[in-house]
Each structure stands twice: as C-alpha cells, then as structure tokens.
C-alpha cells in the first residue's frame, strides 16, 4: 500500500509536526488559487454585461468624447448615407444594393416571429434599425435575440415614430447582447 504523501507522510507520523506545516502551506495555496479564480470569474461575468440603452445623441457624444471620432463618423454614415440594405417585413426580406450593411425591420415583424435571420446574408450587417410605428408594437417588447448570430453587428437603433417615453423604450428591450450597442430616438414628442 502506497501512503498518501499529501496527508500521511511516512517520515512524520505526528499530527503536530512537519506535516501540519506542510498541510497549512498547501491549504493556503489552494485557498489563494480559489480566490484568484473566483475573482477572474466575477470580472468575466461583469465584462459580459451589455451596455445600457441610451439616446442616439448621448451615444454619439459618448463616442466623440471618448476619442472615437472615426467610429462616430462611421455610425453617422450608416445612419444618413445610402448603404446596401435589407428590408424585412412580415415574411418577406428585400435586399437592395448588394450584400446588406444595414437591416431595417419593424417591431411588429420581430414580435410576430415571422422574421427569419437565416433567410438573409447577415455576414456584413453592422446596423439594425427597428422601427416602432405605434404603442401596440411595443406590447410584446423588443426581443433582440434574433440578432445574436450576426457576426459584424455593432449597433441596434430603435426608432419610435409615435409619442412615447424613453423609459418605455428602455424597458421594452429584451435579450440585449454585449456584442452590440443599443440606442434609440423618438421622432414625435407631443
């Protein structure tokens, strides 16, 4: 029978001898390793949290103030200039201008479950614009999980074309992902 070197040292049978010192050192090393691993795990979980949903103007000013002027210019180009785009309505996806960089979909299509991301070449899509036409479009929330498989997606823009509040838009967003930033704008304020 081979003695367990960690607990039963053959040269030291006494419980209070060298064995105790050796066990104390090993126990402290194991506790330190466990704490280090737990700290890394907590930092990883914290880093995986999605960014908060913010207003378009606030998001743009944050990009500029953090020294990301090039990103702000690129986003401005995606929002304002004509880009190759896909337009998703109920069960139809129409692509204009080549491989789409932008996707336009209304909240009702997302809620109905008729939007099929597999029917779309999403390899280059960087911006998804979700249009909310009326209050009924927000009843089921805005589920962002269909966009988790878009490899280059950076931005989701929620555009409300009716009178609503910032809090109701923020509360309606579900399954936000840290891979992209979500921002909104309200076109009607009264």
Residue 140: which pLDDT band, with cuts at 50, 70 and 90? Answer: confident
Compare 29 and 115 and report the one with higher pLDDT: 115
**Domain enclosing residue 36, as ranges:** 19-48
Q: HSE, CB side, 13 Å, CA atoms: give it for residue 16.
A: 0
Count CB neighbours of 153 within 10 A. Answer: 21
Cα separation, 36 vs 65, in Å, equals: 34
- Is 42 contained in some domain? yes
| pLDDT at residue 90 greater than cutoff 80 | no
**Both 63 and 26 in a single domain?**
no
Task: Count structural domains, the chain.
Answer: 2
Give me the pLDDT at residue 45, please. 46
For 70, phi then psi, to 5°, come to -65, -40
**Both 135 and 82 in a single domain?**
yes
**Both 92 and 60 in a single domain?**
yes
- Is 7 contained in some domain? no
- Is 35 contained in some domain? yes
Structure tokens at 4: 């367990």
Q: Determine which of 3-17, 100-114, 117-131 has the lowest per-residue pLDDT on average.
A: 3-17
Sheet strands (E) in the chain: 54-55, 85-89, 92-96, 102-106, 127-132, 142-143, 155-160, 173-174, 181-186
Q: Tokens 């950076």 belong to which residue?
A: 154
Bridge partners of residue 155, in order along the sequence = 127, 181
Give me the pLDDT at residue 135, please. 85
Give me the pLDDT at residue 118, please. 83
Cα separation, 131 vs 136, in Å, equals: 12
Q: What is the mean pLDDT of the chain?
A: 82
- Compute the average pLDDT of residues 119-145: 90
Cα separation, 64 vs 66, in Å, equals: 5
pTM of the model as a whole: 0.72
- Is 4 contained in some domain? no
- Compute the average pLDDT of residues 72-96: 91
Compare 130 and 32 and report the one with higher pLDDT: 130
**Both 92 and 25 in a single domain?**
no
Residue 5: which pLDDT band, with cuts at 50, 70 and 90? Answer: low
CA-closest candidate to residue 118, choices 155, 86, 143, 163:
86
pLDDT digits (tens, 9 = 90+) for 142-163: 999 999 889 999 999 999 988 8
Where do runs of H (alpha helix) occur along 48-173? Answer: 56-65, 69-80, 107-112, 166-172
Give me the pLDDT at residue 185, please. 93
pLDDT digits (tens, 9 = 90+) for 28-62: 667 666 666 665 555 544 445 777 899 999 999 99
Give me the pLDDT at residue 1, please. 55
Structure tokens at 155: 């931005």
Q: What is the chain's length? A: 190
Cα separation, 121 vs 117, in Å, equals: 8
**Both 58 and 42 in a single domain?**
no
């Amino acid at each position: 029978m081979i003695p367990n070197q960690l607990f039963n040292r053959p040269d030291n049978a006494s419980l209070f001898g060298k064995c105790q010192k050796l066990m104390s050192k090993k126990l402290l090393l194991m506790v330190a390793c466990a704490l280090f691993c737990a700290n890394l795990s907590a930092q990883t979980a914290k880093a995986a949290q999605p960014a908060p949903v913010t207003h378009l103007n606030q998001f743009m000013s944050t990009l500029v103030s953090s020294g990301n002027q090039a990103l702000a210019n690129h986003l401005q180009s995606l929002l304002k200039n004509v880009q190759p785009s896909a337009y998703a309505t109920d069960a139809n996806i129409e692509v204009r201008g080549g491989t789409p960089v932008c996707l336009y979909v209304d909240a009702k299509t997302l809620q109905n479950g008729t939007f099929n991301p597999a029917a779309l070449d999403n390899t280059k899509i960087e911006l998804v614009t979700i249009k909310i036409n009326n209050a009924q479009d927000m009843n089921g929330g805005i589920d962002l999980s269909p966009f988790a498989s878009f490899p280059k997606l950076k931005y989701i823009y929620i555009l409300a074309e009716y009178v609503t509040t910032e809090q109701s838009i923020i509360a309606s967003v579900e399954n936000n992902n840290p891979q992209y930033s979500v921002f909104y704008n309200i076109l009607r304020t009264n």
